[in-house]
Structure 1
Amino acid sequence: MIDVEICPLKPEYIDSVLAINNMCFPTPWSRESLEREIKSNTLAKYVVAKKLDILMGYAGMWHILDEGHITNIAVHPEYRGFGIGSALLDALIEICKIELITSMTLEVRKSNLIAQNLYKKYGFVEEGIRKSYYMDNKEDAIIMWKHNI
């Protein structure tokens, strides 16, 4: 476990977040999409994991009514396996508690067993499938929920 600082995503972190985004996702978000998320989407809550000046990962969700919809959790490949994904998910859950969000949801690739296992460790359960959800390869998404935050 690496000791990391979790803090809100700030504009000066965008380049590092984009680099992680490009390494982790087949269809990464554009700079414009990410900037719009943090500057003008009032529903968006994003955090980063960093140590000194090294950004190791980021996570985000949308606060919609009493639900938190996780948009992304990504950890730089060099820092995987050190608990950073767990620290980021802990931070999102803490935001939910503070903002009185009672449930969390997300979509995860059917092939992404590492992410699914992380979510299951935190009490997320599979509650549905979105057929051909991902545009890059038409892979199904598993819909997962965590109730009673």
Structure 2
Amino acid sequence: MVDDLLIREMVEADIDAVLEIERDSFPGDAWTRKIYRHEIIENHFAHYYVMLLGDIYVGVVGMWIVIDDAQITNIAISPHFRGRKFGEKLFGFAMQKAIQYGAKRLSLEVRKSNIIAQRMYRKFGLIPGGIRKNYYKYKQEDAIVMWVNLS
């Protein structure tokens, strides 16, 4: 079954499936079709990838790479596939891509309440670097900024 696992660049035809994962993962803060379309078609700093198991969408990850900084814009795993290390595989893939693109640092924001994600990011060497107050509109939750040197 894991032999069918594929991570590939996101294309416009993936947006509907990605929106479903977004809505399930970020109620109240999910991105829109317009945002994703802009990111994958018009934003030359953006790099988005989908994870598939056969023809089933498992997750999505996106990042911006500007000069030598990589910023994870979002990462989400479908609730049906959580707890099976797919998030670690997808995040590890994104880190390797950032390195391939020449990034020297990687950062992201994570909900203060999302302890599971914070633990995963720590496994990859990310450390907390600050707080963004009320960063998430839904429930007015703070974000912890985490980062790691890649070089």
Provide TM-score, normalisation by structure 2.
Answer: 0.94
Aligned to 2:15: 14
Partner secondary structure for residue 138 of structure 2: coil
Structure 2 counterpart of 1:129, from 123, 131, 134 = 131
Q: Which amino acid aligns with 2:129?
A: E
CA distance, structure 2, for counterparts of residue 15 and residue 50 of structure 1: 14
- Structure 1: where are the runs of 5+ without partners? none
- What pairs with 1:7-86 in structure 2 (closer than 5 Å)? 7-26=8-27, 27-86=29-88
Which protein is richer in strand relative to its size?
A: 2
- Structure 2: where are the runs of 5+ without partners? none
Aligned to 1:117: 119
**RMSD of aligned alpha carbons:** 1.3
Contact 2:60 2:75 in 1 (8 A): yes
Contact 1:2 1:83 in 2 (8 A): no
CA distance, structure 1, for counterparts of residue 42 and residue 89 of structure 2: 26
Q: Tell me the CA shift for residue 105 of structure 1.
A: 0.3
Q: Tell me the CA shift for residue 2 of structure 1.
A: 4.0
Tell me how many residue pairs correspond in the alignment. Answer: 149
Partner secondary structure for residue 81 of structure 1: coil
Provide TM-score, normalisation by structure 1.
Answer: 0.95
Deviations 1:48-72 (A, max 9, x none): 1102111110100000121110011
- What pairs with 1:73-112 in structure 2 (closer than 5 Å)? 73-112=75-114
Q: Tell me the CA shift for residue 81 of structure 1.
A: 1.3
